[in-house]
Chain A
Amino acid sequence: DVKVTQSSRYLVKRTGEKVFLECVQDMDHENMFWYRQDPGLGLRLIYFSYDVKMKEKGDIPEGYSVSREKKERFSLILESASTNQTSMYLCASSPPQRGRQYFGPGTRLTVT
């Protein structure tokens, strides 16, 4: 079974803090994704990566950056957390060209 893990299930941070969200997958997938999910807005793509050290902006990259130093790990960074970044963050991975994505359990981030 594909396993995607995320470093924290719940996180509370203060405005202005730098926040790191880690995601690890164990299926040797090339593709990895970061989404945020908010009520009524669905899943919105923040960043994605199709290879090590490669990244592409999604639909809402502002205020975020990512790092992919190893194939299995994809990190999302909030450079200076703001209250409007309070959300559920979901990481996903997929094999190339297959479409189907496997999700991690999510991190519910609250910025106060």
Chain B
Amino acid sequence: RKEVEQDPGPFNVPEGATVAFNCTYSNSASQSFFWYRQDCRKEPKLLMSVYSSGNEDGRFTAQLNRASQYISLLIRDSKLSDSATYLCAVLFSGGYNKLIFGAGTRLAVHP
């Protein structure tokens, strides 16, 4: 089993739709969680951190479910500019803290 798993998609949605992605992780001792956005041929950029209580930033909502070991990202009122690949990242504790990335979920928003 991979340490961090995501559905690769693509998720094809119309503008204005609500779309949600999940990301499962294997290490129950994981401490920190993040969502990154990566545009085609560009570097990943932090979209938001994921807190235990959940957090919201405009149209984006991130949630953590420790019992089931997954994080989620909800995008409301999708825009064309939201088209990108969304990577989840999980901080695994160990001798050195290590950030493990999922392979990403591709989102395509169409008119």
Contact = CB atoms under 8 A, between A and B. Distances in A.
Contact of B44 (A40, A43, A45): A43
A100 B32 CA distance: 9
Interface residues of B, number: 22
Interface string B1-38: 00000001000000000000000000000011010000
Nearest to A103: B43
Contact of A99 (B8, B32, B44, B104): B32
B32 A40 contact: no
B84 interface: no
Q: Which of B89, B96, B99 has the most CB of A within 10 A?
A: B99
A103 B43 CA distance: 6
A45 B98 contact: yes
A41 B91 CA distance: 18
A90 interface: yes
Nearest to B100: A45
Contacts, number: 44
Contact of B96 (A40, A48, A101, A105): A48
Given A42-B102, A42-B103, A50-B96, A103 B44 contact: yes
B96 A56 contact: yes
B104 A42 contact: yes
B48 to A, nearest CB: 10
A105 B42 contact: yes
Contacts of A99: 31-32, 34, 89, 91, 97, 99
A42 B87 contact: yes
Interface of A: 40-43, 45, 48, 50, 56, 90, 94, 97, 99-106, 108
28 contacts: A40-B8, A40-B103, A41-B103, A42-B87, A42-B101, A42-B102, A42-B103, A43-B44, A45-B98, A48-B96, A48-B98, A56-B96, A90-B43, A94-B99, A99-B32, A99-B91, A99-B97, A99-B99, A100-B34, A100-B46, A100-B49, A101-B89, A101-B99, A103-B43, A103-B44, A105-B43, A106-B42, A108-B41
